[in-house]
């Protein structure tokens, strides 16, 4: 949940590729993506076994939500919080009106986070929701190739460097495909794949949304396993 990219494929059909590298403790177990039904809403997501939530998922609301650790800047973690942020992701996937949800959901004693939200029901819209521990913030993101980096893992200088690295990747490829984006997310250059002892890039999740194909590709880097899940 620390490096995210978005790449629009065709403007006329709102197709896109979204890819997420999760940097997490190697001792935190994860289940590969599966289909779940909650409150009569279809959900597809990899599950955090400890908290039961997720950091990235897609719902039958034609919505994608992905979590990054931290708000605008790195924060000092508390020993305990009231709710796992992964639960917030699931609730955001299920709600009918995500703007109303974010405005009214009680985030007191929830660790700061950033949510990237892609709505693809009738048109393609991207929102960035930030909880800085005190206030909620909403930003409309442009529907263009984007990269986001978690503030808890990368400082401002590192985030700027990664944006430059992303732009160089885009310029060097005339026809960007989901496979090439996945290769980009595998690069150790630019700290896309990190190894900081107990904190490592443990998985890569790629969501592909096309008119004739909707799926989640999941790479478990710890166990060297790859799985695919169709989104119906």
pLDDT of residue 1: 60
Q: Could you read off the pLDDT tens digit of each residue along the chain, which spans 232 residues? A: 689 999 999 878 899 999 999 887 777 788 999 999 999 999 999 998 877 889 999 999 999 999 998 888 777 777 777 778 888 999 999 999 999 999 999 998 888 999 999 999 989 999 999 999 999 999 999 999 999 998 877 788 888 988 999 999 999 998 899 999 999 999 877 778 878 877 788 899 999 999 999 999 999 998 999 999 999 8
The full 3-state SS of the chain, as one line of letters, equals CCEEEEEEEECCCCEEEEEEEEEEECCCCEEEEEEEEECCEEEEEEEECCCCCCCEEEECCCEEEEEEECCCCCCCCCCCCCCCHHHHHHHHHHCCCHHHHHHHCCCCCCCCEEEEEEECCCCCEEEEEEECCCCEEEEEECCCCEEEECCCCCCHHHHHHHHHHHHHHHHCCCCCCHHHHHHHHCCCHHHCCCEECCEEEEEEEEEEEECCEEEEEEEECCCCEEEEEECC
Query: Which domains, ranges and CATH numbers included, belong to the chain?
Result: 3-230 (3.60.60.10)
- So what's the pLDDT on residue 85? 87
pTM of the full structure: 0.94
Bridge partners of 130, per DSSP, are 114, 137
């Amino acid at each position: 949940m620390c490096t995210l990219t978005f790449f629009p494929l065709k403007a006329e059909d709102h197709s896109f590729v979204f890819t997420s590298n999760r940097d997490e403790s190697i001792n935190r177990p994860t289940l590969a993506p599966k289909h779940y039904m909650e409150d009569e809403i279809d959900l597809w997501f990899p599950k955090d076994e400890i908290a039961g939530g997720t950091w990235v998922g897609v719902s039958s609301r034609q919505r994608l939500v992905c979590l990054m650790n931290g708000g605008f800047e790195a924060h000092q973690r508390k020993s305990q919080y009231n709710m796992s942020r992964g639960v917030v992701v699931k609730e955001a996937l299920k709600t009918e009106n995500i703007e109303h949800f974010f405005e009214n959901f009680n985030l007191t004693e929830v660790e700061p986070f950033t949510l990237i939200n892609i709505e693809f029901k009738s048109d393609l819209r991207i929102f960035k929701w930030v909880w800085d521990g005190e206030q909620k913030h909403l930003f409309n993101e442009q529907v263009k190739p984007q990269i986001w980096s978690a503030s808890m893992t990368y400082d401002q200088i590192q985030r700027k460097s990664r944006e430059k690295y992303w732009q160089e990747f885009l310029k060097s490829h005339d026809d960007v495909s989901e496979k090439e984006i996945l290769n980009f997310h595998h690069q150790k250059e630019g700290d896309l794949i990190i190894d900081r002892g107990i904190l490592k890039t443990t998985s890569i999740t790629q969501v592909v949304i096309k008119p004739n194909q909707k799926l989640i590709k999941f790479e478990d880097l710890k166990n060297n396993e790859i799985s695919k899940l169709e989104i119906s």
